[in-house]
A and B are shown apart, each in its own frame.
Chain A
């Protein structure tokens, strides 16, 4: 029985030979089947599919997708290629002149560009770590709460607000003359005379707080969905073995949350690299460039100074680095999954 596989059993059934039916055997058989099937080469186990006309089929699907592909090409690929062309030009709106790679070479000596990268990394790291920590914490609390529906609705409210509007609201809250949060922070001794956005040492924290306030609920929501899928039997088994709730969370819940957290992390990482709405409203990159993260500088160059060629070069480098960092993150964070498999 131990060596009997699903294929062998199916063959025996087809030949009219009886196969074991008691409960223990069934369980045993299922385990044996799954192990062997996965271990075998595909050719050996898979049944050959019904043969269709592959050429005709591909063409058919292509025609079905063609309108979407054409629209996508116009709204996505065409601007993308223009971006590349513009990055090689001294481009203004309506006028352009080839300048080869001057826009790129200039970036290496542009201190605002280089500082923009450093600030962007700092900003993203602060936002991501806080959002993940707080987001997971809130999700666990909500998951165990009787008021789950109410809490989810309440926590999601900041996310419903347009980022520029959120920026304006927080600008008033931080205001040194009449801002409530300014008064609170000062009363608690966190701030001196200057408001949070008026100091080069605290302004970055000011914009991070707004991002964390607005987007932590996204992490909470995704994590909450993940928590619903954590196998209860594993949790119960671990508890039976005497694990504390914290130990249970670390050794069972967290590994099961891994795939959803990776998605949440990637989403927020890419958002942080491109969302500037609230930061632009709050500080505009100041004071003294202390919050001029690269996307704000990119906006400034493109739509304030109208240097579209320079802006395109900055945008492309930002895009390339985002993709590379995204791939690295996936590889790094995906590794434990591979090992597990």
Chain B
């Protein structure tokens, strides 16, 4: 077959032998592939699966799912426990994690491209859920399906914390649920109790009220506190800045940062729509009205007395500023309490930090006639299933979704890496209740009074706008607000610019 020199030292393989060897290898490969393939084919019908609880969990044994998620504690904790899920179901789940903008790009391409490389997705309410809602499976028909395992607590709104199921699972229609609440990041105020006590007398002498933080503390009070600390600092005292904003590169949290101030004053929202369900045709924006211009001005006033690095501080960076003791107060998401209370990473640990709801609206700043509320917003991460996947894979993914959002798993995550439960029953467990007080082994539980008992409830809770163009909307809000804070334009110019760009975005 091949040329071989006459004096070759090796034995020549003839053509017949070569073909025999090739054929044998091919047969072995084929048989191996068939074996692997047969192993991963669903061998039972749903009817057979319904025969026992064990059969329901194991009906998709041999399947493989990929879950694309944000790099948050629940995903890491669940990855650590994934063997338990495999032992229970025989389903292999690969959990891939990345920063939210990257997750958004990857799942966006997968979903819109008609692919199902990622059968399970982390459905963060606005950045992922709002633009891609139509590409997720409606889970409602699977709830109560006798051929699938079910969570004994069920999936109705009342088993989750208030507004959670709607926040991450319902888009543009109340009838469909496309994701189950998987983790949560709800905003609240972190403040340095020790510094407040230390400077309380001076503050009281100047502003005529106590330096403290309660649910009735307003944004005007925050402005006063930030001004007070800045003056102290400028007078040469060794104190941190009073406040800092989330105005860095992450557009979504920048939008959330200003949304809290806007909503607190008269429950102002961007579009005249049901903010929690959202709309594909949101209509004309409210930006440009009198209330929005006034609030932008107040937001700018606050920025002027805040930490000077505002425009570089995204959520993570801002938390580092607080951990390092460079600010006395921040509005931050409750999942960060674990890092704040870690003495190896934080100067604000050891009982120095107090937790309170987001600041309330200042009545004298309200021009639209609405109430003053504690504008609290959030990011509720759901777990959703890619509609492009086969029916069997969708059902297999459902099994993982209900397992990963179950009470026991959430409890383990809370104990382990510091998760943020979404089921009420987790918080009702005796040791979680006890963990709400210091000393605690579950530092996130220190925030639960402010978050679960107050901030996420109506009328304080604000979510939207859920619109298909959510990501461009976030970017516009972030860049225009940053222009205001960097003195490139006035509050009125900012509001008008947002009005024109958002109306253009929504084609109205």
A residues touching B (Cβ–Cβ < 8 Å)?
92-95, 174-178, 192-195, 197-200, 283-290, 292, 300, 303-307
Contact = CB atoms under 8 A, between A and B. Distances in A.
Given A198-B312, A199-B486, A287-B485, 15 more contacts: A92-B112, A93-B112, A93-B113, A94-B113, A174-B312, A176-B309, A193-B308, A193-B309, A195-B312, A198-B309, A200-B311, A286-B249, A304-B471, A304-B472, A307-B472
Contacts of A93: 108-109, 112-113
Contacts of A292: 479
Contact of B112 (A174, A175, A284, A306): A306
19 contacts: A92-B112, A93-B113, A176-B308, A177-B326, A194-B308, A194-B309, A195-B309, A198-B308, A198-B313, A284-B251, A287-B482, A288-B482, A288-B483, A289-B482, A292-B479, A303-B105, A304-B475, A305-B475, A306-B112
Given A194-B312, A199-B311, A287 B112 contact: no
A225 B65 CA distance: 53
A289 B248 CA distance: 12
Nearest to A95: B112
B50 interface: no
B101 A304 contact: yes
A183 B485 CA distance: 24
Contacts of A176: 308-309, 312-313, 317, 321
Given A198-B312, A304-B471, A289 B320 contact: no
A62 B104 CA distance: 46
A175 B478 CA distance: 20
Contacts of A197: 311-312
B379 interface: no
A286 B472 contact: no
A287 B317 CA distance: 15
B483 A284 contact: no
A157 to B, nearest CB: 27
A304 B108 CA distance: 9
B502 to A, nearest CB: 14
B144 interface: no
A175 B317 contact: yes
Contacts of A174: 312
Contact of B105 (A198, A199, A289, A304): A304
A206 to B, nearest CB: 10
B490 to A, nearest CB: 14
Contacts of B307: 193
Interface of B: 101, 104-105, 108-109, 112-114, 131, 247-251, 307-313, 317, 320-321, 324, 326, 469, 471-472, 475, 478-479, 482-483, 485-486, 488
A287 B246 CA distance: 12
A286 B476 CA distance: 11
A177 B244 CA distance: 13
A287 B312 contact: yes
Contacts of B483: 288-289
A178 B307 CA distance: 15
Contacts of A287: 247-249, 311-312, 482, 485-486
Q: Which of B113, B309, B324, B483: most chain A CB closer than 10 A?
A: B309
A283 B320 CA distance: 18
Nearest to A194: B308
Contacts of B112: 92-95, 306
A288 B113 CA distance: 32
A304 B248 CA distance: 17
A272 to B, nearest CB: 21
Q: Which of A198, A292, A303, A305: most chain B CB closer than 10 A?
A: A198
Q: Please provide the 10 A-B residue pairs with the shortest distance between their CB atoms, ordered closest to farther.
A: A193-B308, A198-B312, A93-B112, A287-B311, A288-B482, A176-B309, A284-B249, A288-B483, A198-B311, A194-B308
Contact of A288 (B101, B320, B479): B479
Contacts of A199: 311, 486
A286 to B, nearest CB: 5
Q: Which of A176, A192, A292: most chain B CB closer than 10 A?
A: A176
A178 B324 contact: yes
Nearest to A197: B312
B131 A306 contact: yes
Q: Which of A175, A194, A287: most chain B CB closer than 10 A?
A: A287
Q: Which of A175, A285, A286, A307: most chain B CB closer than 10 A?
A: A286
A200 B486 contact: yes
Contacts of A92: 112
A200 B317 CA distance: 18
B482 A177 contact: no
A177 B320 contact: yes
Nearest to A299: B105
B104 A304 contact: yes
A192 B308 CA distance: 9
Contacts of B250: 284
B296 to A, nearest CB: 14
Contacts of A307: 472
A2 B59 CA distance: 100
Given A177-B321, A197-B312, A286 B478 contact: yes
A288 B477 CA distance: 10
Nearest to B247: A287
A165 B183 CA distance: 29
Contacts of B479: 285-286, 288-289, 292
Contact of B114 (A94, A300, A305, A306): A94
